[in-house]
Chains A and B, each alone.
Chain A
Amino acid sequence: MAEDIITTILIWTFILATSLVPFLFSWIVGNWHQKKIIARLLEREAALPRDNLSTLKTPLSGKTIANSQLLIANVVSAPSRWQLFLAGIKSIFGGNIKHLDQMLDWGRSEALQRLREQASEMGFDEVINLRMETSTISMNNGGRQKGGSFEILAYGTGIKYL
């Protein structure tokens, strides 16, 4: 009888340790971490004087272009386990899954910000013909797909006026 109780306790401990604890950890630490990186990104965005990205093929100012180069920036990011769990529940009922929006939005803004910083570091005045691309990255762990991580790629042509 005592062995049965011990076995039950062990099984429940195992279930909690493998399922609930990572979720709670992910909820608390994930929220804190994501708020931190979003705040840091907003600071960096405010630090640059103007937005030097454009999707036009030719710059609006008709100045002479002296130099040009292809610029690439990317970021791989993933929502937290907690957000994926909430999204799984939400997807039963359908509708807007705002838990996944947060990290996707951050990843896209981060890739754009990296392109802006790269362009201003290399001395380019503007980046024209900006293109963005999103792709999922499969994380295959023991034959089980998990993660929901994605890559945001942003690229354009950096130009420098005479």
Chain B
Amino acid sequence: MLNGQVLDMQPHPDQAPQPAPKPVQAMQPPSPQPAIQQVQEGKSGQPGQPVQATVQIALSNIETIPGRTIQQSLGIATGSTVRAKHIGKDILAGFKNIVGGELKGYTELLTEARNQALERLVADAAARGANAVVNIRFATSSVAGGAAELFAYGTAVIVV
């Protein structure tokens, strides 16, 4: 059974020379993108200035924004937040912990915190004058005293 499956996965000698279809070509024709068309020019590259709320930044965790071309890289955009637990939620979670299962209070807390970290990442990217952040990664670490640090980082780029 297993050998048969492995043999099936071997490319047939007749089919082997055919090159695989390039996914890059499929992404070439520029297509209407309602989400990114609303992008306006933000305040360019002055950190410390308040970011305009109208700036929309395209986010993805692959190397490109599909259908767009990266023109310039502007370095790493980061955003982090440290959240401590709410004492009432912690007591409730302690009760819930007896039977196991989802701790909804904590799920909501971490979702909010992660959204805040992403907002800070977007603000950082906007301060650099980027209109997209690609290759976003998340990291979570628990710090002392029941607090958690949520960290998001990615590459700020200008896409056209």
Contact A162 B31 (CB under 8 A): yes
- Flag whether B35 is at the interface (Cβ < 8 A): yes
User: Is B69 an interface residue, CB under 8 A from the partner?
Assistant: no
Nearest-neighbor residue (CB-CB) of B104 within chain A:
A76
Which residues in B have their C-beta under 8 angstroms from that of A25?
98-99
Residue contact A156 to B61, C-beta cutoff 8 Å: yes
Q: Are B106 and A137 within 8 A (Cβ)?
A: yes
Establish whether residues B97 and A81, one from each chain, have CB atoms under 8 Å apart when the complex forms: yes
B128 contacts chain A at the CB level, 8 A cutoff:
no
Q: Which B residues are in CB contact (< 8 Å) with A162?
A: 31
Q: Closest CB-CB distance, B94 to chain A, in whole Å? A: 6
13 extra A-B contacts, CB within 8 A, seeds A62-B21, A68-B67, A147-B93: A34-B101, A64-B27, A68-B58, A69-B59, A70-B59, A70-B136, A72-B114, A78-B93, A79-B100, A81-B100, A83-B100, A110-B102, A129-B62
Can you name 14 A-B pairs with beta carbons within 8 Å? A30-B98, A64-B26, A65-B26, A66-B33, A68-B58, A68-B65, A68-B66, A81-B97, A128-B62, A131-B61, A137-B110, A137-B142, A149-B106, A153-B138
Instruction: List the interface of chain A (C-beta within 8 A of B).
Output: 22, 25-26, 29-30, 33-34, 37, 57-59, 62-70, 72, 74-81, 83, 103, 107, 110, 128-129, 131, 133, 135-141, 146-147, 149, 151, 153, 155-157, 159, 162
